[in-house]
Structure 1
């Protein structure tokens, strides 16, 4: 294993403390991997148990913890217990269903070598498809690969199972490949390398990865290297109901603060006066990124990309300044009541999982600032399934982003009729219906009830707490529908 062959180079990732469960889950579900720091055996065990059911390992470090001690020990079987290079692989690849999560921390660092090698199989599969459909079909057919189970029997399994989304691989005596794949193995290995990156972990650092979607390995090393590892099965998913709230006009109103901050920031970064008065682009229902692009085009501003980057970086500071200068954010009628009711529902719903998130044209920082400035608690919102407008040009992309995050968590259990969008604009209704989601329209923003009802939302109300009965019917009703696709 040669880190110089990694097509994505050597990375210096953002690390999370083991106690930052939400941040870890966000990275895991969005990127397939999260990196840890200041993590010891106790913290590793606590984190693993928070995530699901810990798999009892063959060589448990401390009885009952589920933690393996991966170290140089010639008396133990497996390359993981040697100082040799460890090729890209899936842990427990011979199982019917390998553990979903692998979480580890480096207890002691080697004198030299021992870098972690990581590869996202989503990138690998896209690369393989571009090389030809015949190559891709070799990996998705169980005729061409078999993996050794714990009883020593080789069981035919595809490297990539299109039904489950599980990618399994290894390069040792635990796999048998047909001649058709063996001939193309150098091509496969080069593809894996091209889509891999390396990380030089320090003591107390580690990672939590999706063992169904990420391959991992390490370079050879000298000296003593000790890694603590736990394998975790996620709990079986329940039926899920997800409610995604818009922010402006739905949860709170902060028009004057928003306009002041937006145009003040844009004027400064563009170097020319751009104001609400000299701009005819509509603000309602838009994303920050889409709105920004249209306004820059309207004013014939050059260097749009660099100005947009500077704007999105600076905008939260301007919003905070506008708040401090006396502009306010106020809660929409009934918002606190509906969120308190949903918080109780989350605790009491037995048959289904209830998730509450945000679907907003604001950036994450701005959305949370506006909500908190309105005196609304944000703990109820699951940010790992939320979508924000600083990375998407339109609202349909926001919905697709949230769906992708939910699908990563729930797989085929995600059903589109179980996702409810709550918003106050015609765009909210149109995009939700286009995505196949249920939609609640609330006339607490700039549109009247008649403007919203004509678009035939699933439910419409003047105050947001008037939709309790409708939401309750979804929380108590099992609905079957077609799972969402990735488009």
Structure 2
């Protein structure tokens, strides 16, 4: 359970079995810490290898690289005593400290021995909010030095803004400048008020981002034992993500869309609102943003109620329009291109390699309407990963759509996420502008309402008439992703 004396931590941490890799990864990359239960040495070792390479323990070597942290005066390090273990970064003197600390409790102490954790993201925000110069001291290597394995003190900032690494400790392995020494008590006060304590039960433990979290332990009595692995994350295979617009890019369904949109609004507000009596630009818009503009144009009162009804009823109106014979048809080359991309992914799976391609949707339609239009056009919707997709019934504009997908991708990939590996494929100037603003690549397809000249002048990474003409460019992006992974340096194991 969590100590009630500390407030910034989880009020009730959620524990996962070590076999639930997806849940453990989500918590680790999103929160910086993931709690596990039902864990022993075998499952801890297996989990460590699923994240990367185990760093050889300094004091003990058992073949698997797992340390037994316990009261053992013959071993070096305060972790092998029963004294309080102050907040620190493991291997803080290394140029690249191990990224992950994995621990599981195998024997609970008679009293004490709570794990102490502090999220430096909170600590840094607290320091910045004070605005009294302490942040500048922490980010300058002139004010702190850390002892390396050969005994030398190496100047390093406590917080490295370029890498996001926060390194710290309380003992004689850190040396501070006079300017920081006089502020040290202030720093400790901030650290402790942003910390929390966890009283683990046997078989419970955690994965900690050693670059983000500081950890320690209260003093204890009795025979407390904990297994620990230090892990360097393996270089990931860079994943290319392709986000497809729908209308004008994958399919065309203007008559169906216009009929359903305005029929639905008219029925809800009780007066005719049509495409001909509404001078609002439709192209590249989201359902929600367009709805606000249309209602403002016609000075409709009680907008919130109308919007709620519209979002609920709109899919049924789209189905009615389809039933009336207003069709959705695939854009030239769309089905062929999607099937080619799906083949690329299937080939990687059959070769037992991790797919380096994800396909999602970034559309102004709601999810229900998007899938209906694609299905009506004969496009297989199983190609698309809806977890990373963004839809227009919850976003006012195109840029927020991209930002939504980016946030979802960042939550899945953690620090390995790269905006430049995201490719937005669309048919409007807004698609290009928003993709570039978000740091993504842009493929412009002149299969909608804009011609090649209108799109090419905005400087997309590729402009083409048919989406199938983008295959060579997409293939080069996928090939570059694989080559980058092959050229990446192998993570080194510390001694």
Same fold, TM exceeding 0.5?
Answer: yes
1:68 is displaced (CA, Å) by 1.5
1:466 is displaced (CA, Å) by 4.0
Q: Do structure 1's residue 438 and structure 2's residue 441 form an aligned pair?
A: yes
Structure 2 residue corresponding to 1:457, chosen from 452, 456, 460 = 460
1:188 is displaced (CA, Å) by 0.9
**Unmatched 5+ residue regions in structure 1?**
265-272, 481-487
CA spacing shift, 1:9–1:55, aligned 2, 3 Å:
closer
Q: Do structure 1's residue 177 and structure 2's residue 184 form an aligned pair?
A: no
Tell whether the 8 Å contact from 1:54 to 1:232 is kept in structure 2 after alignment: yes
- State the alpha-carbon separation in 2 of the partners of residues 93 and 8 from structure 1: 24
Q: 1:101 maps to which residue?
A: 100
SS at match of 1:83: coil
Tell whether the 8 Å contact from 2:284 to 2:364 is kept in structure 1 after alignment: no
TM-score scaled by structure 2? Answer: 0.70
1:472 is displaced (CA, Å) by 1.9
Tell whether the 8 Å contact from 1:119 to 1:214 is kept in structure 2 after alignment: yes
Q: 2:488 maps to which residue?
A: none
1:3 is displaced (CA, Å) by 4.5
CA spacing shift, 1:440–1:151, aligned 2, 3 Å:
same
- State the alpha-carbon separation in 1 of the partners of residues 429 and 105 from structure 2: 52
TM-score scaled by structure 1? Answer: 0.71
1:342-398 Cα distance to aligned partner (Å, 9 max, x none): 31675799xx994435464699998999899975546x9596x87788997654345
Q: 2:471 maps to which residue?
A: 468
Which piece of structure 1 moves more, 183-192 or 218-227? Answer: 218-227
**Unmatched 5+ residue regions in structure 2?**
485-495
Which piece of structure 1 moves more, 227-236 or 420-429? Answer: 420-429
Tell whether the 8 Å contact from 2:362 to 2:402 is kept in structure 1 after alignment: no
Which piece of structure 1 moves more, 399-408 or 118-127? Answer: 399-408
- Report which of the two structures shows the higher radius of gyration computed on alpha carbons: 2
- State the alpha-carbon separation in 1 of the partners of residues 129 and 106 from structure 2: 40
1:166 is displaced (CA, Å) by 1.4
- State the alpha-carbon separation in 1 of the partners of residues 252 and 65 from structure 2: 49
SS at match of 1:95: coil
Q: Do structure 1's residue 12 and structure 2's residue 16 form an aligned pair?
A: no
CA spacing shift, 1:382–1:408, aligned 2, 3 Å:
farther
CA spacing shift, 1:50–1:333, aligned 2, 3 Å:
same
Q: 1:84 maps to which residue?
A: 83
- State the alpha-carbon separation in 2 of the partners of residues 220 and 302 from structure 1: 60
Let me know the Cα RMSD of the aligned residues.
5.2
Tell whether the 8 Å contact from 1:359 to 1:398 is kept in structure 2 after alignment: no
1:90 is displaced (CA, Å) by 0.9
SS at match of 1:439: strand
- State the alpha-carbon separation in 2 of the partners of residues 102 and 367 from structure 1: 45
Q: 1:405 maps to which residue?
A: 410
1:102-154 Cα distance to aligned partner (Å, 9 max, x none): 22223344444433332222232222222226211211222222222223332
Q: 2:36 maps to which residue?
A: 36
1:408 is displaced (CA, Å) by 4.9
Tell whether the 8 Å contact from 1:254 to 1:370 is kept in structure 2 after alignment: no
Which piece of structure 1 moves more, 47-56 or 122-131? Answer: 122-131
Which piece of structure 1 moves more, 435-444 or 120-129? Answer: 435-444
Tell whether the 8 Å contact from 1:101 to 1:210 is kept in structure 2 after alignment: yes
Q: 1:58 maps to which residue?
A: 58
- State the alpha-carbon separation in 2 of the partners of residues 368 and 65 from structure 1: 50
- State the alpha-carbon separation in 2 of the partners of residues 391 and 195 from structure 1: 34
Q: Do structure 1's residue 159 and structure 2's residue 162 form an aligned pair?
A: no
1:183 is displaced (CA, Å) by 1.5
Tell whether the 8 Å contact from 1:336 to 1:376 is kept in structure 2 after alignment: no
Q: Do structure 1's residue 245 and structure 2's residue 248 form an aligned pair?
A: no
Tell whether the 8 Å contact from 2:245 to 2:425 is kept in structure 1 after alignment: no
CA spacing shift, 1:194–1:288, aligned 2, 3 Å:
farther
1:25 is displaced (CA, Å) by 3.0
Tell whether the 8 Å contact from 2:345 to 2:355 is kept in structure 1 after alignment: no
1:99 is displaced (CA, Å) by 0.7
Which piece of structure 1 moves more, 39-48 or 195-204? Answer: 195-204
1:168 is displaced (CA, Å) by 0.3
- State the alpha-carbon separation in 1 of the partners of residues 271 and 223 from structure 2: 64
- State the alpha-carbon separation in 2 of the partners of residues 37 and 288 from structure 1: 44
- State the alpha-carbon separation in 2 of the partners of residues 206 and 364 from structure 1: 41
Give runs of aligned pairs for residues 293-308 of structure 1, distance below 5 A. Answer: none
Structure 1 residue corresponding to 2:344, chosen from 339, 342, 345 = 342
SS at match of 1:39: coil
Q: 2:190 maps to which residue?
A: 191
Which piece of structure 1 moves more, 283-292 or 3-12? Answer: 283-292
Tell whether the 8 Å contact from 1:90 to 1:168 is kept in structure 2 after alignment: yes
Q: What is the total number of aligned residue pairs between the two structures?
A: 451
1:55 is displaced (CA, Å) by 0.4
Tell whether the 8 Å contact from 2:361 to 2:389 is kept in structure 1 after alignment: yes
